[in-house]
Amino acid sequence: MSIEELAGACIMTGIRGATLDDPVCKADVELLKKHHIKNVILFDVHLPTGGLRNIVSEEQVRQLTDDLRHELGDDLIIGIDQEGGEVNRLTNFKDPAVSEMLSAKMQGVMSEKQLASVIEPVARALSEAGINLTFAPCVDLTINPDNPIIAAKGRSLGHDPERVVRAASTIISTYHTHGVRCCIKHFPGHGSTTVDTHLGLADITKSTTQAEQLVFERVIEHVNKRAMPNCAVMSGHLMDTNIDPQLPASLSALHTQSNLRDKYGFDGVVFTDSIDMGAIRDQHDAGAACVLAINAGADIVIDGFNTPDASDHPATMMQSSLLDAIDGGVIDESRLHEAAQRRSALISS
């Protein structure tokens, strides 16, 4: 792979439109092709207008993913946030088991057999639609019941770490059976926050608990022992000044490299949460955030390009910033090779 291709493999972005017959969608895909972007995230709703974005029907999504792979390569990762409940991108699908997928809160109290029966039709639908990665399960614990973005939206599998790990194992294994990879989130734990990171940075310094960390430790332990399939981890825009007084976990080597990798032993793909969220966008542009995240040990940086004030597509700035950082000695080229190897291992496992 060329250095430009390596940089592109470290970037995941959104696109506008539901078909390449749409000139806006075609232009976005051409831009991704130009910059060798190898990862795309799909959304149901286009936030600037509130209308439909990438997902209209099963048949349409299948055509879109086929076209994206034709343009960007068969090894393309196409991801989606499919947790269930309020975070369900497939509400237009015909099967009510998919369009009305139960929330994580409800999934967390089920038996293993019941839970697998909830996930199986969704996993099959994603696979048939050409989507090979879901940013789920959310393994954030119900620490703060008033948490506006986790507990309040029913996105937590529960408060007991061991029960959450068991549920996560069932979810990941069921998706994996259908060729869909999972990404657990949000490291090091979003369950105690009082702030929605879409709006601003969340400080967990005084609220985070050991139980939240235990969930990630246990899942990683199961993956390393091959007791469950390989999965990715998403780092959150979460500030813990006891670990890093300057940077949130998504941009911090002290969180990603020192803790997640060195301490917990995770050697899989690390995605960042989307850097177009207020927590990051208020402090860094897309290029600077991308460089910080990759230098911190993340493998794929997400910019969903789906905020109310989104204008220029971020792919150009993200790739050029990575290339400039390589040229300037800020990032060692070996970091991109390492990220590419982990990415390949995720989609081929």
* DSSP class per residue in 4-70: HHHHHTTEEEE---SSTTSHHHHHHHHHHHHTT--EEEE-SEETTTTEE-S-S-HHHHHHHHHHHHH
What pLDDT, on the 0 to 100 scale, is given for residue 195? 86
Q: First-to-last CA distance in the chain?
A: 21
With H, G, I as helix, E, B as strand and everything else as coil, classify residue 187: strand
- CA–CA separation, 78 and 55 (whole Å): 13
Q: pLDDT tens digits for 160-203?
A: 999 999 999 999 999 999 999 999 999 999 999 998 888 888 99
Residue 138 pairs in a beta bridge with 185
Per-residue pLDDT of the chain (349 residues), as tens digits, is 999 999 999 999 999 999 999 999 999 999 999 999 999 999 999 988 889 999 999 999 999 999 999 999 999 999 999 999 999 999 999 999 999 999 999 999 999 999 999 999 999 999 999 999 999 999 999 999 999 999 999 999 999 999 999 999 999 999 999 999 999 999 999 999 998 888 888 999 999 999 999 999 999 999 999 999 999 999 999 999 999 999 999 999 999 999 999 999 999 999 999 999 999 999 999 999 999 999 999 999 999 999 988 889 999 999 999 999 999 999 999 999 999 999 999 998 8
* Bond from prior residue into 148 cis (ω within 30 degrees of 0): no
Which sign does the torsion angle of CA 127, 97, 226, 237 carry? Answer: positive
Size of the chain in residues: 349
Beta-bridge partner residues of 272? 235
For residue 209, give the H/E element and its range: none
Alpha helices (H) in 73-209, listed in sequence order: 96-99, 104-107, 112-128, 161-177
* Closest to 41 measured CA to CA, from 129, 134, 176, 172: 134
pLDDT the model gives residue 87: 97
CA–CA separation, 238 and 85 (whole Å) = 24
Give the pLDDT of residue 301: 98
Q: What is the 3-state secondary structure (H, E, C) of 227-280?
A: CCCCCEEEECCEECCCCCCCCCHHHCHHHHHHHHHHHCCCCCCEEECCCCCHHH
Separate counts of helices (H) and strands (E) for the chain: 13, 12
DSSP category for residue 306: -
User: What CATH code would you report for 3-348?
Assistant: 3.20.20.300
For the stretch 267-305, pLDDT in tens is: 999 999 999 999 999 999 999 999 999 999 999 999 999
The pLDDT, as a whole number, for residue 234 is 98
